[in-house]
Chains A and B, each alone.
Chain A
Amino acid sequence: MNIRENIETIRQDFPILEREMSGHPVDYLDSCATTLKPHAVIDEVVRYYTYLGSNAHRGDYEMSAQVDYAFEGARKTMMEFIHASRKEEIVFTSGTTEGLNMVALMAIDQLLEKGDAIMTAETEHASSILPWQYYGCKKGIATCYMHLTDEGRITLDNFKKSLDENPNTKVVMVAQVSNVLGYQVPVEEMGAICKERGILFVVDGAQAVAHTPVDVQKMNCDFYCFSGHKMCGPTGIGVLYGRFELLDKLTPVYFGGESNARYYKDCDTLILRRTPLKYESGTQPIEAALGMAAAARYLKKIGLENIHEYELFLKRHFLERAEKELKDKVKLYNATSESGIITFNVYDNGQLIFPQDMASFLSSKGIAVRSGQHCAKLMGDIIDAPGTVRASLYLYNSLEDVDRLVDALKEATVEKCLDIFF
């Protein structure tokens, strides 16, 4: 679908765009944090609550069979969405963070030895770094950081050099798209290198799945995690993709109902259910799984290539206006990144407007952006500011949304940022 020509129709799919913020139509530029939801997703969630109703995998009546069918159907939709090779490679989780924690816990406990190392990057999200760092430290497994370019990009040359310098690396953990700067990481080539060297390749897809076509097989990744809410789906649901042999070999982190087949009173008597059900202890957020699958269908219908292209179109429009009208006013940190993420700071006659003051000012104009360090607190050497403002564009943003941002930035001063308090 050509988004530019159909933007008004697409916007009508998102009922929240009818609301106001601070007395203005909402200009939602924070899709990196979470995306808005289309009717198709909301309706699917409501269908579970108003029609399907029962638990999954546990009843012997018609309603329950219908839920099983829908739930396993959602798994299949998610498999197709990221091009996994079979639906058993899709484990439902509560989101990226839980998926990444599960992978780190299982890998450190069951696959790694003292003295091994994990390689990641300073630009990564906290949920990609902290679980490895915390559990790794306990077992004598170091977390090391790969070389980046001055602008914070991961390149293949730097990656190879970093691996050569850290021959003990057994795991590489990166985001396919960084949430602060929006750079695309050369995951396919990195995956091939990892495969060749017998390194486990773990990819955080939180900022990628909704913005570009994803193929976990081409990427040669062992694990891939993402969240439903960042792809127009509900909160509280996500996917942990794992290569089948690995998932089948590993023992889960949690135990409980639904994930076991049999157990007796003694140690070592537990028989787990087959993969992936052994990873899904307890009642799942069924309506969220169904909603996430509806979101995947919605995005596929529009076309992920089209979404990516449209984001770049919006960003180009911002850059063109910024170049002409915001030259000395705005410092951009990622003009060259190929995504809808714009990370910047605003200056008032040379004085930095503190990012949070800026975000409050924009909020008073109905514009939603995020300020801060965006959960990547090791970025200090790449961005020499106490934080940044991040505007993230998505398929439901119009050119007018971008224009409103530029107009507001032109007008911003430190003093005006204080107006909201009076």
Chain B
Amino acid sequence: MPIDPSYFRDIIMDNYSYPHNKELTEDESYRSRHMASDSCIDDITVQAKFKDGKVEDIRFDGKACTISTASTSILSELLRGKTIEEAQNIIDNYNHMIHGEPFDEDVLEEAVVFEGVAKQPNRIGCATIGWRAVQEMIDDEEAGK
């Protein structure tokens, strides 16, 4: 895919101004992670529902910068309906991309818009905050916790 910065920027803007799945549920069958332990001011809660080895739903809410909000919004769409194994592969590739390492862009779909974060190391935390929450919940799910 040729990189067209203005197209990528629009996707991030869209996901920031009109984020997907930005509403928490009271449903007890969701796992939940409050991500506020980093030193930055982003303060978000991410919820995930796993069923039969699949990611059934991801939602989030909170106050966060453009990159945190948009990356969590895109993540919530991207992982829905994937098996945990597929989700793990996507997260791994996303982390490679964010750290400037080789990655498989096909599995990342829209999330490739964050490739440029690798050039701004002090914003890596923003681009990964929601993703770390989901990783932790996957780890718990796998461990049967």
Interface residue A414 (Cβ < 8 Å from any Cβ of B):
yes
For residue A23, give the distance in angstroms from its CB to the closest CB of chain B: 13
- The segment from B35-43, B75-83, B85-93, B137-145 found at the interface with A is B35-43
Known: A373-B41, A414-B16, A415-B13. A421 touches B116 (CB 8 A): yes
For residue A390, give the distance in angstroms from its CB to the closest CB of chain B: 12
Question: For chain B residues 1-25, which have a beta carbon within 8 Å of chain A?
Answer: 3, 5, 8-9, 12-13, 16
> A414 contacts which of B41, B66, B126 (Cβ < 8 Å)?
B66
> B43 contacts which of A386, A415, A422 (Cβ < 8 Å)?
A386
Interface residue A64 (Cβ < 8 Å from any Cβ of B):
no
A373 to B117, CA, bound (A): 23
Interface residue A270 (Cβ < 8 Å from any Cβ of B):
no
> B9 contacts which of A354, A357, A387, A415 (Cβ < 8 Å)?
A415
- A 370-407 to B, binary, CB cutoff 8 A, 1 in contact else 0: 01110000000000001100000000000000000000
- Cross-chain contact A360 with B43 (CB below 8 angstroms): no
A372 to B126, CA, bound (A): 13
- Cross-chain contact B9 with A418 (CB below 8 angstroms): yes
Residues of chain B with a CB closer than 8 A to A415's CB: 9, 13
Known: A421-B114, A422-B8. A355 touches B13 (CB 8 A): no
- Cross-chain contact A414 with B39 (CB below 8 angstroms): no
Interface residue A419 (Cβ < 8 Å from any Cβ of B):
yes
Interface residue B107 (Cβ < 8 Å from any Cβ of A):
no
Known: A357-B66, A415-B13. A372 touches B40 (CB 8 A): yes
Residues of chain A with a CB closer than 8 A to B122's CB: 360
- Cross-chain contact B13 with A422 (CB below 8 angstroms): no
Q: Closest B-chain residue to A377, C-beta based? A: B41
Residues of chain A with a CB closer than 8 A to B13's CB: 414-415, 418
For residue A370, give the distance in angstroms from its CB to the closest CB of chain B: 11
Question: For chain B residues 88-145, which have a beta carbon within 8 Å of chain A?
Answer: 114, 116-117, 119-120, 122-123, 126
Known: A356-B65, A357-B66. A422 touches B5 (CB 8 A): yes
- Cross-chain contact A386 with B9 (CB below 8 angstroms): no
Interface residue B63 (Cβ < 8 Å from any Cβ of A):
yes
Interface residue A246 (Cβ < 8 Å from any Cβ of B):
no
Interface residue A420 (Cβ < 8 Å from any Cβ of B):
yes
- Cross-chain contact B40 with A360 (CB below 8 angstroms): no
Residues of chain B with a CB closer than 8 A to A357's CB: 65-67
A414 to B43, CA, bound (A): 19
Residues of chain B with a CB closer than 8 A to A354's CB: 64-66
For residue B82, give the distance in angstroms from its CB to the closest CB of chain A: 26
- B 58-72 to A, binary, CB cutoff 8 A, 1 in contact else 0: 000001111100000
For residue B63, give the distance in angstroms from its CB to the closest CB of chain A: 4
- Report the interface size class on chain A: 10 to 19
For residue A297, give the distance in angstroms from its CB to the closest CB of chain B: 34
Q: Closest B-chain residue to A351, C-beta based? A: B17
Residues of chain A with a CB closer than 8 A to B66's CB: 354, 357, 414, 417-418
- Cross-chain contact B41 with A386 (CB below 8 angstroms): yes
A371 to B41, CA, bound (A): 9
Q: Closest B-chain residue to A422, C-beta based? A: B5
Known: A356-B41, A371-B41, A422-B5. A386 touches B12 (CB 8 A): no
For residue A100, give the distance in angstroms from its CB to the closest CB of chain B: 19
For residue A366, give the distance in angstroms from its CB to the closest CB of chain B: 15
Residues of chain A with a CB closer than 8 A to B40's CB: 356, 372
Residues of chain A with a CB closer than 8 A to B116's CB: 420-422
A357 to B123, CA, bound (A): 9
> B117 contacts which of A355, A387, A419, A421 (Cβ < 8 Å)?
A421
- Cross-chain contact B123 with A360 (CB below 8 angstroms): yes
Interface centre among B40, B41, B64 (most CB of A within 10 A): B41
> A421 contacts which of B39, B41, B63, B119 (Cβ < 8 Å)?
B119
- Cross-chain contact A372 with B119 (CB below 8 angstroms): no
Q: Closest A-chain residue to B122, C-beta based? A: A360
For residue A236, give the distance in angstroms from its CB to the closest CB of chain B: 20
Known: A355-B41, A371-B41. A360 touches B120 (CB 8 A): yes
Q: Closest B-chain residue to A417, C-beta based? A: B66
Residues of chain A with a CB closer than 8 A to B120's CB: 360, 420-421
A356 to B8, CA, bound (A): 20
- A 49-68 to B, binary, CB cutoff 8 A, 1 in contact else 0: 00000000000000000000
> What are 29 sample pairs from A and B whose C-beta atoms fall under 8 A apart?
A354-B64, A354-B66, A355-B41, A356-B40, A356-B42, A356-B65, A356-B123, A356-B126, A357-B65, A357-B66, A360-B120, A360-B122, A360-B123, A372-B40, A372-B41, A373-B41, A386-B41, A387-B41, A414-B66, A415-B9, A415-B13, A418-B9, A420-B116, A421-B9, A421-B114, A421-B119, A421-B123, A422-B3, A422-B8
Residues of A within 8 A of B (CB): 354-357, 360, 371-373, 386-387, 414-415, 417-422
The 10 closest A-B pairs by CB, nearest first: A421-B116, A422-B5, A387-B41, A354-B65, A386-B63, A356-B65, A357-B65, A418-B9, A386-B41, A357-B66
